[in-house]
Amino acid sequence: MVILILKAYLLVFIGVMVFYFIRHFIFTLNRLFYEQRMCYQDIIDSDLKTISILIPMHNEEKVATNILDLLVESDYDKDKIEVIPINDFSEDRTREIIDDYGERYPFIKPLHRCKGERGKPAALNEALAGATGEIIIVFDADYLPPKGILKSIAVCFNDPEVGAAMGRVIPVNTRRNILTRLLDLERTGGYQVDQQARYNLKLMPQYGGTVGGFRRKEVIQLGGFNLRILAEDTELTYRLSINGWKVIYANRAECYEEVPETWSVRARQIQRWSRGHNEVMFAYFFPLLKSSHLSFREKFDGIFLLLVYVVPVILLTGLVDSLVLFFLGEMEIFSGIFFLVFIGAYNTFGNFAPFYQVGTACILDGAIHRILLLPFLIFNFLFNMWYISKGFFAAVIDTVTRRKAGWHKTERFRQAGSKGHVS
Protein backbone atom coordinates (compact mmCIF):
# COMPACT_ATOMS: atom_id res chain seq x y z
CA MET A 1 0.00 0.00 0.00
CA VAL A 2 2.81 2.40 0.94
CA ILE A 3 4.64 1.59 -2.28
CA LEU A 4 1.45 2.18 -4.25
CA ILE A 5 1.02 5.60 -2.64
CA LEU A 6 4.65 6.49 -3.33
CA LYS A 7 4.29 5.46 -6.96
CA ALA A 8 1.02 7.34 -7.30
CA TYR A 9 2.66 10.45 -5.88
CA LEU A 10 5.44 10.15 -8.41
CA LEU A 11 2.88 9.96 -11.21
CA VAL A 12 1.03 13.03 -9.88
CA PHE A 13 4.37 14.80 -9.69
CA ILE A 14 5.15 13.91 -13.30
CA GLY A 15 1.69 15.10 -14.34
CA VAL A 16 2.20 18.49 -12.69
CA MET A 17 5.57 18.90 -14.41
CA VAL A 18 4.11 18.03 -17.80
CA PHE A 19 1.32 20.58 -17.30
CA TYR A 20 3.83 23.34 -16.61
CA PHE A 21 5.92 22.19 -19.59
CA ILE A 22 2.90 22.54 -21.90
CA ARG A 23 1.89 25.88 -20.40
CA HIS A 24 5.30 27.43 -20.97
CA PHE A 25 5.48 25.99 -24.46
CA ILE A 26 2.16 27.60 -25.36
CA PHE A 27 3.50 30.91 -24.02
CA THR A 28 6.63 30.58 -26.14
CA LEU A 29 4.73 29.86 -29.36
CA ASN A 30 2.31 32.68 -28.64
CA ARG A 31 5.08 35.21 -28.05
CA LEU A 32 6.97 34.15 -31.15
CA PHE A 33 4.26 33.86 -33.76
CA TYR A 34 0.97 35.38 -32.75
CA GLU A 35 -0.54 38.82 -32.38
CA GLN A 36 1.14 40.79 -29.64
CA ARG A 37 -1.32 42.73 -27.58
CA MET A 38 0.12 46.19 -27.24
CA CYS A 39 -0.42 48.22 -24.16
CA TYR A 40 -1.66 51.81 -24.26
CA GLN A 41 1.63 53.67 -24.60
CA ASP A 42 0.75 55.08 -28.04
CA ILE A 43 -2.29 56.96 -26.73
CA ILE A 44 -1.59 60.66 -26.59
CA ASP A 45 -3.69 62.14 -23.85
CA SER A 46 -3.66 65.85 -23.18
CA ASP A 47 -5.57 65.36 -19.95
CA LEU A 48 -3.21 63.18 -17.96
CA LYS A 49 -4.35 61.72 -14.68
CA THR A 50 -2.82 62.92 -11.44
CA ILE A 51 -0.34 60.42 -10.07
CA SER A 52 1.36 59.78 -6.76
CA ILE A 53 4.69 57.97 -6.93
CA LEU A 54 5.46 55.99 -3.80
CA ILE A 55 9.04 54.89 -3.09
CA PRO A 56 9.39 52.82 0.09
CA MET A 57 12.90 53.31 1.49
CA HIS A 58 14.59 51.61 4.38
CA ASN A 59 18.26 52.55 4.63
CA GLU A 60 18.52 53.47 0.97
CA GLU A 61 21.26 56.11 1.06
CA LYS A 62 23.20 54.25 -1.66
CA VAL A 63 20.42 54.53 -4.21
CA ALA A 64 17.98 57.24 -3.09
CA THR A 65 19.46 60.11 -5.11
CA ASN A 66 19.50 58.08 -8.35
CA ILE A 67 15.78 57.43 -8.45
CA LEU A 68 14.83 60.91 -7.24
CA ASP A 69 17.04 62.56 -9.87
CA LEU A 70 15.46 60.46 -12.59
CA LEU A 71 11.93 61.25 -11.42
CA VAL A 72 12.78 64.96 -11.43
CA GLU A 73 13.80 64.56 -15.08
CA SER A 74 10.58 62.73 -15.95
CA ASP A 75 8.53 64.20 -18.82
CA TYR A 76 5.25 63.98 -16.87
CA ASP A 77 3.52 67.28 -16.15
CA LYS A 78 4.96 68.28 -12.78
CA ASP A 79 1.64 69.85 -11.76
CA LYS A 80 0.10 66.42 -11.90
CA ILE A 81 2.58 64.39 -9.94
CA GLU A 82 3.63 64.05 -6.37
CA VAL A 83 6.60 61.92 -5.40
CA ILE A 84 6.41 60.43 -1.93
CA PRO A 85 9.70 58.88 -0.83
CA ILE A 86 8.80 56.92 2.31
CA ASN A 87 11.53 56.83 4.90
CA ASP A 88 10.62 53.61 6.70
CA PHE A 89 12.60 53.54 9.95
CA SER A 90 15.90 54.29 8.19
CA GLU A 91 19.01 54.56 10.30
CA ASP A 92 21.32 55.91 7.62
CA ARG A 93 21.23 59.18 5.64
CA THR A 94 17.97 58.42 3.82
CA ARG A 95 16.06 61.02 5.87
CA GLU A 96 18.49 63.84 5.04
CA ILE A 97 18.62 62.92 1.36
CA ILE A 98 14.87 62.89 0.80
CA ASP A 99 14.34 66.01 2.93
CA ASP A 100 16.89 67.79 0.77
CA TYR A 101 14.95 66.84 -2.38
CA GLY A 102 11.72 67.86 -0.67
CA GLU A 103 13.09 71.34 -0.06
CA ARG A 104 14.29 71.70 -3.64
CA TYR A 105 11.26 70.33 -5.47
CA PRO A 106 7.71 71.11 -4.35
CA PHE A 107 6.28 67.93 -5.89
CA ILE A 108 8.55 65.76 -3.74
CA LYS A 109 6.85 65.19 -0.41
CA PRO A 110 8.90 63.03 1.95
CA LEU A 111 7.08 60.86 4.45
CA HIS A 112 8.96 59.77 7.56
CA ARG A 113 7.85 56.73 9.48
CA CYS A 114 9.28 56.14 12.95
CA LYS A 115 6.39 54.37 14.66
CA GLY A 116 3.82 51.71 13.84
CA GLU A 117 4.41 48.64 11.72
CA ARG A 118 7.57 48.33 9.67
CA GLY A 119 7.78 46.98 6.15
CA LYS A 120 6.66 47.77 2.63
CA PRO A 121 2.91 47.03 2.97
CA ALA A 122 2.60 49.19 6.08
CA ALA A 123 4.64 51.97 4.47
CA LEU A 124 2.47 51.88 1.36
CA ASN A 125 -0.73 51.99 3.41
CA GLU A 126 0.39 55.06 5.31
CA ALA A 127 1.49 56.80 2.13
CA LEU A 128 -1.78 55.83 0.40
CA ALA A 129 -3.75 57.54 3.13
CA GLY A 130 -2.05 60.86 2.42
CA ALA A 131 -1.59 60.56 -1.33
CA THR A 132 -3.76 62.68 -3.61
CA GLY A 133 -3.13 61.22 -7.08
CA GLU A 134 -5.82 59.27 -8.89
CA ILE A 135 -3.21 56.71 -9.78
CA ILE A 136 -0.50 55.31 -7.54
CA ILE A 137 2.78 54.27 -9.12
CA VAL A 138 5.27 52.34 -7.01
CA PHE A 139 9.01 52.00 -7.47
CA ASP A 140 11.48 50.23 -5.23
CA ALA A 141 14.31 52.55 -4.28
CA ASP A 142 16.94 50.81 -6.42
CA TYR A 143 14.99 51.33 -9.64
CA LEU A 144 16.08 53.70 -12.40
CA PRO A 145 12.90 54.89 -14.16
CA PRO A 146 13.41 56.31 -17.66
CA LYS A 147 11.91 59.63 -18.68
CA GLY A 148 8.69 58.44 -20.29
CA ILE A 149 7.71 55.56 -18.05
CA LEU A 150 5.24 57.49 -15.89
CA LYS A 151 3.15 58.35 -18.96
CA SER A 152 3.38 54.77 -20.23
CA ILE A 153 1.98 53.43 -16.97
CA ALA A 154 -0.50 56.21 -16.19
CA VAL A 155 -2.14 56.14 -19.62
CA CYS A 156 -3.18 52.50 -19.05
CA PHE A 157 -5.75 53.76 -16.57
CA ASN A 158 -7.70 55.56 -19.28
CA ASP A 159 -9.22 52.13 -19.70
CA PRO A 160 -11.88 52.04 -16.97
CA GLU A 161 -11.52 48.28 -16.54
CA VAL A 162 -7.84 48.43 -15.61
CA GLY A 163 -7.16 48.14 -11.90
CA ALA A 164 -3.38 47.70 -12.04
CA ALA A 165 -0.66 47.89 -14.67
CA MET A 166 2.80 46.39 -14.61
CA GLY A 167 5.90 47.36 -16.59
CA ARG A 168 8.97 45.36 -17.56
CA VAL A 169 11.92 45.01 -15.18
CA ILE A 170 15.46 44.84 -16.56
CA PRO A 171 18.58 44.33 -14.40
CA VAL A 172 21.04 47.22 -14.46
CA ASN A 173 23.99 45.32 -13.01
CA THR A 174 23.87 42.32 -15.35
CA ARG A 175 27.59 42.17 -16.00
CA ARG A 176 28.61 42.07 -12.38
CA ASN A 177 28.96 38.27 -12.00
CA ILE A 178 27.46 34.92 -12.96
CA LEU A 179 24.53 35.33 -10.55
CA THR A 180 23.47 38.69 -11.96
CA ARG A 181 23.76 37.30 -15.48
CA LEU A 182 21.58 34.33 -14.58
CA LEU A 183 19.04 36.62 -12.92
CA ASP A 184 19.02 38.69 -16.08
CA LEU A 185 18.12 35.55 -18.04
CA GLU A 186 15.37 34.82 -15.54
CA ARG A 187 13.90 38.31 -15.89
CA THR A 188 14.19 38.19 -19.69
CA GLY A 189 12.23 34.94 -19.93
CA GLY A 190 9.76 36.01 -17.27
CA TYR A 191 8.81 39.35 -18.80
CA GLN A 192 9.53 39.20 -22.53
CA VAL A 193 7.73 35.87 -22.98
CA ASP A 194 5.81 34.86 -19.87
CA GLN A 195 4.11 38.11 -18.86
CA GLN A 196 3.57 39.26 -22.46
CA ALA A 197 2.07 35.91 -23.51
CA ARG A 198 -0.23 35.92 -20.52
CA TYR A 199 -1.35 39.41 -21.49
CA ASN A 200 -1.79 38.34 -25.13
CA LEU A 201 -3.85 35.33 -24.12
CA LYS A 202 -6.01 37.38 -21.72
CA LEU A 203 -4.87 35.30 -18.79
CA MET A 204 -3.58 36.83 -15.59
CA PRO A 205 -0.46 39.00 -15.85
CA GLN A 206 1.01 39.74 -12.47
CA TYR A 207 1.40 43.11 -10.80
CA GLY A 208 4.95 42.94 -9.47
CA GLY A 209 4.88 45.61 -6.77
CA THR A 210 7.24 47.97 -8.55
CA VAL A 211 7.34 49.57 -12.01
CA GLY A 212 3.61 49.42 -11.85
CA GLY A 213 0.56 51.31 -10.79
CA PHE A 214 -2.94 50.92 -9.45
CA ARG A 215 -6.02 53.03 -8.76
CA ARG A 216 -5.76 54.71 -5.38
CA LYS A 217 -9.40 55.01 -4.32
CA GLU A 218 -10.32 51.55 -5.46
CA VAL A 219 -7.42 49.89 -3.65
CA ILE A 220 -8.22 51.83 -0.48
CA GLN A 221 -11.84 50.69 -0.80
CA LEU A 222 -10.60 47.11 -1.07
CA GLY A 223 -8.77 47.55 2.24
CA GLY A 224 -5.29 48.67 1.18
CA PHE A 225 -2.36 46.31 1.57
CA ASN A 226 -2.61 43.30 3.83
CA LEU A 227 0.00 43.68 6.56
CA ARG A 228 0.10 39.94 7.24
CA ILE A 229 1.29 39.05 3.75
CA LEU A 230 4.85 39.51 2.56
CA ALA A 231 4.04 39.42 -1.17
CA GLU A 232 1.81 42.49 -1.23
CA ASP A 233 2.12 42.66 -5.02
CA THR A 234 0.80 39.15 -5.69
CA GLU A 235 -1.91 39.70 -3.11
CA LEU A 236 -3.03 42.88 -4.88
CA THR A 237 -3.04 41.07 -8.24
CA TYR A 238 -5.47 38.47 -6.92
CA ARG A 239 -7.57 40.87 -4.87
CA LEU A 240 -8.12 43.16 -7.85
CA SER A 241 -8.74 40.27 -10.24
CA ILE A 242 -11.33 38.48 -8.16
CA ASN A 243 -13.11 41.81 -7.68
CA GLY A 244 -13.45 42.33 -11.39
CA TRP A 245 -10.50 44.59 -12.18
CA LYS A 246 -8.06 43.83 -14.98
CA VAL A 247 -4.35 43.63 -14.35
CA ILE A 248 -2.44 44.47 -17.51
CA TYR A 249 1.17 44.26 -18.63
CA ALA A 250 3.07 46.98 -20.50
CA ASN A 251 6.12 45.37 -22.09
CA ARG A 252 7.22 48.73 -23.52
CA ALA A 253 7.36 50.36 -20.08
CA GLU A 254 10.91 49.24 -19.28
CA CYS A 255 12.60 50.12 -16.03
CA TYR A 256 16.03 49.17 -14.69
CA GLU A 257 16.60 47.55 -11.31
CA GLU A 258 19.51 46.25 -9.30
CA VAL A 259 19.47 42.46 -8.84
CA PRO A 260 21.23 40.71 -5.94
CA GLU A 261 24.95 40.24 -6.46
CA THR A 262 25.55 37.54 -3.87
CA TRP A 263 23.96 34.14 -3.50
CA SER A 264 23.19 34.76 0.18
CA VAL A 265 21.13 37.82 -0.64
CA ARG A 266 19.43 35.96 -3.48
CA ALA A 267 18.66 33.05 -1.14
CA ARG A 268 16.95 35.37 1.34
CA GLN A 269 15.10 37.15 -1.45
CA ILE A 270 13.72 34.03 -3.07
CA GLN A 271 12.83 32.52 0.30
CA ARG A 272 10.89 35.68 1.15
CA TRP A 273 9.13 35.65 -2.23
CA SER A 274 8.19 32.03 -1.75
CA ARG A 275 6.87 32.67 1.75
CA GLY A 276 4.83 35.66 0.63
CA HIS A 277 3.56 34.05 -2.55
CA ASN A 278 2.48 30.91 -0.70
CA GLU A 279 0.69 32.98 1.93
CA VAL A 280 -1.29 34.44 -0.98
CA MET A 281 -1.84 30.94 -2.34
CA PHE A 282 -3.39 29.79 0.94
CA ALA A 283 -5.53 32.90 1.18
CA TYR A 284 -6.75 33.13 -2.42
CA PHE A 285 -6.96 29.60 -3.82
CA PHE A 286 -10.68 29.16 -3.17
CA PRO A 287 -11.74 32.81 -3.59
CA LEU A 288 -10.12 32.66 -7.03
CA LEU A 289 -12.12 29.58 -7.99
CA LYS A 290 -15.33 31.14 -6.72
CA SER A 291 -14.90 34.55 -8.35
CA SER A 292 -17.69 35.40 -10.76
CA HIS A 293 -15.58 38.07 -12.47
CA LEU A 294 -12.99 35.77 -13.96
CA SER A 295 -13.22 33.59 -17.05
CA PHE A 296 -12.33 29.90 -16.93
CA ARG A 297 -8.99 30.52 -18.62
CA GLU A 298 -8.14 33.32 -16.16
CA LYS A 299 -8.92 31.04 -13.25
CA PHE A 300 -6.93 28.22 -14.81
CA ASP A 301 -3.89 30.43 -15.30
CA GLY A 302 -4.43 32.03 -11.91
CA ILE A 303 -4.18 28.62 -10.26
CA PHE A 304 -0.96 27.83 -12.15
CA LEU A 305 0.44 31.17 -11.08
CA LEU A 306 -0.60 30.64 -7.47
CA LEU A 307 1.10 27.25 -7.42
CA VAL A 308 4.38 28.42 -8.93
CA TYR A 309 6.10 28.42 -5.55
CA VAL A 310 4.55 25.09 -4.53
CA VAL A 311 5.98 23.11 -7.41
CA PRO A 312 9.59 23.17 -6.11
CA VAL A 313 8.23 21.62 -2.92
CA ILE A 314 6.47 18.95 -4.96
CA LEU A 315 9.77 18.46 -6.77
CA LEU A 316 11.73 18.09 -3.55
CA THR A 317 9.27 15.62 -2.09
CA GLY A 318 9.20 13.83 -5.44
CA LEU A 319 12.94 13.34 -5.25
CA VAL A 320 12.67 12.00 -1.69
CA ASP A 321 9.87 9.75 -2.88
CA SER A 322 12.09 8.47 -5.70
CA LEU A 323 14.92 7.84 -3.25
CA VAL A 324 12.65 5.74 -1.06
CA LEU A 325 11.35 3.79 -4.07
CA PHE A 326 14.92 3.25 -5.22
CA PHE A 327 15.91 1.58 -1.94
CA LEU A 328 12.72 -0.45 -1.96
CA GLY A 329 13.70 -1.81 -5.36
CA GLU A 330 10.70 -0.24 -7.06
CA MET A 331 12.35 2.23 -9.39
CA GLU A 332 12.56 -0.04 -12.37
CA ILE A 333 9.13 0.63 -13.79
CA PHE A 334 9.84 4.33 -13.56
CA SER A 335 13.24 4.26 -15.17
CA GLY A 336 12.03 5.69 -18.46
CA ILE A 337 9.53 8.03 -16.89
CA PHE A 338 12.11 9.23 -14.40
CA PHE A 339 13.75 11.13 -17.19
CA LEU A 340 10.47 12.85 -17.90
CA VAL A 341 10.40 13.99 -14.30
CA PHE A 342 13.64 15.79 -14.81
CA ILE A 343 12.45 17.28 -18.03
CA GLY A 344 9.62 18.90 -16.20
CA ALA A 345 11.66 19.75 -13.17
CA TYR A 346 14.51 21.30 -14.98
CA ASN A 347 12.37 22.98 -17.56
CA THR A 348 10.13 24.55 -15.04
CA PHE A 349 12.38 25.27 -12.15
CA GLY A 350 15.83 25.48 -13.55
CA ASN A 351 14.94 29.10 -13.74
CA PHE A 352 11.19 29.48 -13.21
CA ALA A 353 11.00 29.32 -16.95
CA PRO A 354 12.11 26.58 -19.31
CA PHE A 355 15.33 27.03 -21.21
CA TYR A 356 13.50 27.32 -24.54
CA GLN A 357 11.40 30.15 -23.16
CA VAL A 358 14.47 32.01 -21.93
CA GLY A 359 16.29 31.33 -25.22
CA THR A 360 13.33 32.64 -27.21
CA ALA A 361 13.15 35.75 -25.01
CA CYS A 362 16.86 36.43 -25.59
CA ILE A 363 16.42 36.11 -29.36
CA LEU A 364 13.48 38.54 -29.27
CA ASP A 365 15.52 40.90 -27.12
CA GLY A 366 18.44 40.79 -29.53
CA ALA A 367 20.65 39.49 -26.74
CA ILE A 368 23.29 37.23 -28.24
CA HIS A 369 26.13 35.95 -26.12
CA ARG A 370 24.20 35.66 -22.91
CA ILE A 371 22.25 32.76 -24.47
CA LEU A 372 25.38 30.67 -23.98
CA LEU A 373 24.80 30.90 -20.24
CA LEU A 374 21.63 28.83 -20.45
CA PRO A 375 23.31 25.57 -19.31
CA PHE A 376 24.44 27.37 -16.16
CA LEU A 377 20.82 27.61 -15.10
CA ILE A 378 21.48 24.19 -13.65
CA PHE A 379 23.00 26.13 -10.75
CA ASN A 380 19.54 27.42 -9.90
CA PHE A 381 17.90 24.02 -9.97
CA LEU A 382 18.69 22.68 -6.49
CA PHE A 383 19.27 26.17 -5.09
CA ASN A 384 15.78 27.38 -5.98
CA MET A 385 14.23 24.11 -4.91
CA TRP A 386 15.77 24.30 -1.45
CA TYR A 387 15.14 27.95 -0.62
CA ILE A 388 11.67 28.04 -2.12
CA SER A 389 10.77 24.95 -0.09
CA LYS A 390 12.02 26.67 3.06
CA GLY A 391 9.84 29.67 2.20
CA PHE A 392 6.87 27.37 1.60
CA PHE A 393 7.14 25.72 5.00
CA ALA A 394 7.49 29.13 6.65
CA ALA A 395 4.25 30.16 4.90
CA VAL A 396 2.53 27.00 6.15
CA ILE A 397 3.53 27.85 9.71
CA ASP A 398 2.48 31.48 9.22
CA THR A 399 -0.93 30.36 8.01
CA VAL A 400 -1.53 27.69 10.62
CA THR A 401 -0.28 29.63 13.65
CA ARG A 402 -1.34 33.09 12.41
CA ARG A 403 2.28 34.09 12.84
CA LYS A 404 3.22 37.42 11.30
CA ALA A 405 6.28 37.45 9.09
CA GLY A 406 8.87 40.19 9.56
CA TRP A 407 9.93 42.24 6.57
CA HIS A 408 13.56 42.06 5.43
CA LYS A 409 14.84 44.45 2.83
CA THR A 410 17.04 43.20 -0.01
CA GLU A 411 20.61 44.43 0.39
CA ARG A 412 21.81 47.01 -2.17
CA PHE A 413 25.14 46.78 -3.97
CA ARG A 414 25.40 50.10 -5.74
CA GLN A 415 28.18 52.39 -4.57
CA ALA A 416 26.89 55.58 -2.94
CA GLY A 417 27.16 58.41 -5.45
CA SER A 418 27.21 56.06 -8.44
CA LYS A 419 24.68 56.76 -11.20
CA GLY A 420 23.75 53.10 -11.48
CA HIS A 421 24.58 52.91 -15.16
CA VAL A 422 23.02 50.29 -17.37
CA SER A 423 25.44 47.50 -18.22
Binding site for other proteins (CB under 8 A): 25, 28-29, 31-36, 38, 168, 192, 251-252, 254, 263-264, 266-267, 319, 322-323, 326-329, 331-332, 335-340, 342-343, 346, 350, 354-356, 359-360, 362-369, 371-375, 377-383, 386
Report the C-alpha gap between 173 and 170 in whole angstroms: 9
CB–CB of 165/39 below 8 Å?
yes
CB–CB of 225/232 below 8 Å?
yes
Pick the closer one to other proteins by CB: 136 or 211.
211
Query: Cα 27 to chain center, whole Å?
Result: 18
Pick the closer one to other proteins by CB: 184 or 279.
184
Report the C-alpha gap between 208 and 219 in whole angstroms: 15
- Find the shortest distance in angstroms from Cβ 145 to other proteins: 16
- Find the shortest distance in angstroms from Cβ 413 to other proteins: 16
Residues near 129 by beta carbon (within 8 Å), at least 6 away in sequence: 220
Report the C-alpha gap between 420 and 402 in whole angstroms: 40
**HSE-up of 222 (CA within 13 Å, CB side)?**
20
CB–CB of 193/353 below 8 Å?
yes
Q: Using N-to-C axis directions, what is the helix angle for 311-327 and 378-401, rounded to 10°?
A: 110
- Find the shortest distance in angstroms from Cβ 291 to other proteins: 30
- Find the shortest distance in angstroms from Cβ 26 to other proteins: 9
CB–CB of 282/197 below 8 Å?
no
Amino acid letter at 388? I
Quick one: which of 238, 188, 191 has its CA closest to 214? Answer: 238
Pick the closer one to other proteins by CB: 52 or 200.
200
- Find the shortest distance in angstroms from Cβ 332 to other proteins: 6
Pick the closer one to other proteins by CB: 120 or 266.
266
- Find the shortest distance in angstroms from Cβ 340 to other proteins: 7
Pick the closer one to other proteins by CB: 300 or 381.
381
| DSSP letter assigned to residue 48 | P
- Find the shortest distance in angstroms from Cβ 360 to other proteins: 7
Pick the closer one to other proteins by CB: 289 or 337.
337
- Find the shortest distance in angstroms from Cβ 302 to other proteins: 24
Type and span of the H or E element at 15: helix 2-33
Instruction: Note the residue count of the chain.
Output: 423
Pick the closer one to other proteins by CB: 6 or 32.
32
| DSSP letter assigned to residue 406 | P
Pick the closer one to other proteins by CB: 158 or 177.
177
Q: Is the dihedral of CA 51, 163, 211, 273 positive or negative?
A: positive
- Find the shortest distance in angstroms from Cβ 120 to other proteins: 25
Pick the closer one to other proteins by CB: 102 or 260.
260
Quick one: which of 107, 102, 111 has its CA closest to 133? Answer: 107
Neighbour-count burial of 323, counting CB atoms closer than 10 A to its CB (0-12 exposed, 13-18 middle, 19+ buried): exposed
N-terminal to C-terminal alpha carbon distance within the chain: 57
